[in-house]
């Protein structure tokens, strides 16, 4: 992991998208191509074996290939040249069959897809951690009442269990979109010069199917050199997932403010410290997730803009994609891992949540009071009375139920027992628990 990327990826994903990893993925394509063509009788078996033996990343200088890429406009050209030279050292005749019938974009595209295939289980593992933690939190706090907050202001009470289930519901929906997008995107790219595999005669489809099977990829109906919709759907799905993770991070960071202190991220191991203020306990997981949520939308837009490509080979659009896709996947993975860590160690202060409700002096139950009075006096008159009571509550620092009890127009129609239970948050949660269960037990896919 490079220092400049240390707040934008995780160690496992940085390894997936490293120079060595990408180089090996391109070489895996070339070795698979040679073996598939030997299987079809297009190249000698000895040549395929020689190419496969040479196709090891440790045999090549990634920096030199990178310099060649800048001149060629694609990594496939310097890669094929370097591989042919390596093969030729052991078998000059076999070197002639390196990259036989393929085009440079076939190599680069398939290599990127192979990296996505490697990234998928890494994302899935962190997703499973996050899902399990949120289920535990929601179940543990199904009866923990807290303020609902709308437009950043105190609103009707909810439960923290419902809040956590809401996070989970959005993340599960995003996970299902990612599942579909990954499945569709993991396809072989193999079309040759103009996407017709003309160099292989009538054996092109046969070779492609063997390659796809060997590389563990699906085989598409046709090459997709300038049809980037599958990757676009994956990138967009990452954007939605990262935004949903960002919403969770935003909530946690707001709840972690000192003056709120209703929840806190785990501490220890150097997490959340300050170089100047020893008392600080910063919400680092939320910060990293929000940084990813800020970064990814622009990358999604950049990818979608580049999808408008020319004829059978794009100029500029395709060449922009590699770093964009890598950064999107790495940012999504960082957000997933960060929120998994936050959820697994999240500290919830139920007492502070209760105190926040009490601090409103019962004014958050103004809707309930209006409904009770409205049934007796009519909606408009009831709301006017309650608004007057709320104003008096603020001026006199008294509770809403007390003020209402002293108002003759209220005491005539509502007895003290009803008003006495006005401010019980557990009695005004509606169907919160049923909604929580619906979110927790909604149908879902098992993995990314």
Q: Is 274 a catalytic residue?
A: yes
From 274, 305, 411, 442, active-site residue? 274
Q: Is 118 a catalytic residue?
A: no
Three-class SS of the chain: CCHHHCCCCCHHHHHHCCHHHHHHHHHHHHHHHHHHHHHCCCCCHHHHHHHHHHCCHHHCCHHHHHHHHHHHCCCHHHHHHHHHHHHHHHCCCHHHHCCCCCCHHHHHHHHHHHHHHHHHHHHHHHHHHHHHHHHHHHHHCCCCEEEEEECCEEEEEEEHHHHHHHHHHHHHHHHHHHHHHHHHHCECCCCCCCCCCHHHHHHHHHHHHHHHHHHCCECCCCCCCCCCHHHHHHHHHHHHHHHHHHHHHHHHHHHCCCCCCCEECCCECCECCCCCCCCCCCCHHHHHHHHHHHHHHHHHHHHHHHCCCCCCCCCCCHHHHHHHHHHHHHHHHHHHHHHHHHHHCCEECHHHHHHHHHCCCCHHHHHHHHHHHHHHHCHHHHHHHHHHHHHHHHHHCCCHHHHHHCCHHHHCCCCHHHHHCCCCHHHCCCCHHHHHHHHHCCCCCCCC
Residue 48 in tokens: 């395929």
From 313, 352, 354, 398, active-site residue? 313
Measure CA of the first residue to CA of the last residue in the chain; give whole Å.
Answer: 24
Residue position matching structure tokens 């910063």: 282
Which residues fall within 8 angstroms of residue 289, CB to CB, at 6 or more apart?
A: 242, 245, 246, 248, 249, 334, 335, 338, 339, 342
Can you name the residues that pair with 146 across neighbouring β-strands? 158
Q: How far apart are CA 279 and CA 138, in angstroms?
A: 30
User: Catalytic residue positions?
Assistant: 274, 313
């Amino acid at each position: 992991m490079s220092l400049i990327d240390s707040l934008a990826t995780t160690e496992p994903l940085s390894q997936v998208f490293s120079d060595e990893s990408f180089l090996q993925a391109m070489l895996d394509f070339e070795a698979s191509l040679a073996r598939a063509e030997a299987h079809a009788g297009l190249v000698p078996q000895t040549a395929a074996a020689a190419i496969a033996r040479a196709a090891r990343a440790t045999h090549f200088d990634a920096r030199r290939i990178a310099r060649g890429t800048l001149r060629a406009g694609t990594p496939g050209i310097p890669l094929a040249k370097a591989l042919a030279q390596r093969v030729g050292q052991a078998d000059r005749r076999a070197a002639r069959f390196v990259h036989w019938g393929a085009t440079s974009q076939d190599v680069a595209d398939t290599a990127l897809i192979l990296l996505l295939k490697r990234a998928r289980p890494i994302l899935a593992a962190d997703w499973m951690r996050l899902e399990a933690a949120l289920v535990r939190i929601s179940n543990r706090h199904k009866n923990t009442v807290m303020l609902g907050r709308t437009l950043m202001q105190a609103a009707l009470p909810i439960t923290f269990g419902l809040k956590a289930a809401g996070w989970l519901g959005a993340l599960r929906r995003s996970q299902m979109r990612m599942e579909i997008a990954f499945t569709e995107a993991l396809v072989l790219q193999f079309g040759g010069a103009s996407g017709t595999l003309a160099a292989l005669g009538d054996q092109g489809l046969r070779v492609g199917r063997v390659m796809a099977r060997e590389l563990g990829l699906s085989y598409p109906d046709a090459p997709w050199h300038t049809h980037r919709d599958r990757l676009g759907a994956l990138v967009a799905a990452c954007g939605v997932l990262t935004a949903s993770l960002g919403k969770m991070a935003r909530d946690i960071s707001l709840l972690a403010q000192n003056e709120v202190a209703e929840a806190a991220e785990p501490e220890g191991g150097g997490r959340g410290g300050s170089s100047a203020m020893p008392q600080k306990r910063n919400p680092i997981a939320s910060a990293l997730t929000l940084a990813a949520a800020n970064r990814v939308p622009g990358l999604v837009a950049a990818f979608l803009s580049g999808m408008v490509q020319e004829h059978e080979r794009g100029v500029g659009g395709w060449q922009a994609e590699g770093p964009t896709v890598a950064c999107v996947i790495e940012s999504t993975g960082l957000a997933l891992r960060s929120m998994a860590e936050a959820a697994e160690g999240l500290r919830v202060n139920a007492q502070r949540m209760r105190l926040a409700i009490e601090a409103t002096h019962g004014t958050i139950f103004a809707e309930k009071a209006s409904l009770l009075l409205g049934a007796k006096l009519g909606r408009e008159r009831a709301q006017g009375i309650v608004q007057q009571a709320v104003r008096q509550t603020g001026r006199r620092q008294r509770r809403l139920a007390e003020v209402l009890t002293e108002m003759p127009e209220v005491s005539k129609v509502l007895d003290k027992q009803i008003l006495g239970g006005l401010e019980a948050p557990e009695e005004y949660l509606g169907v919160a628990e049923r909604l929580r269960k619906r979110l927790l037990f909604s149908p879902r896919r098992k993995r990314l």
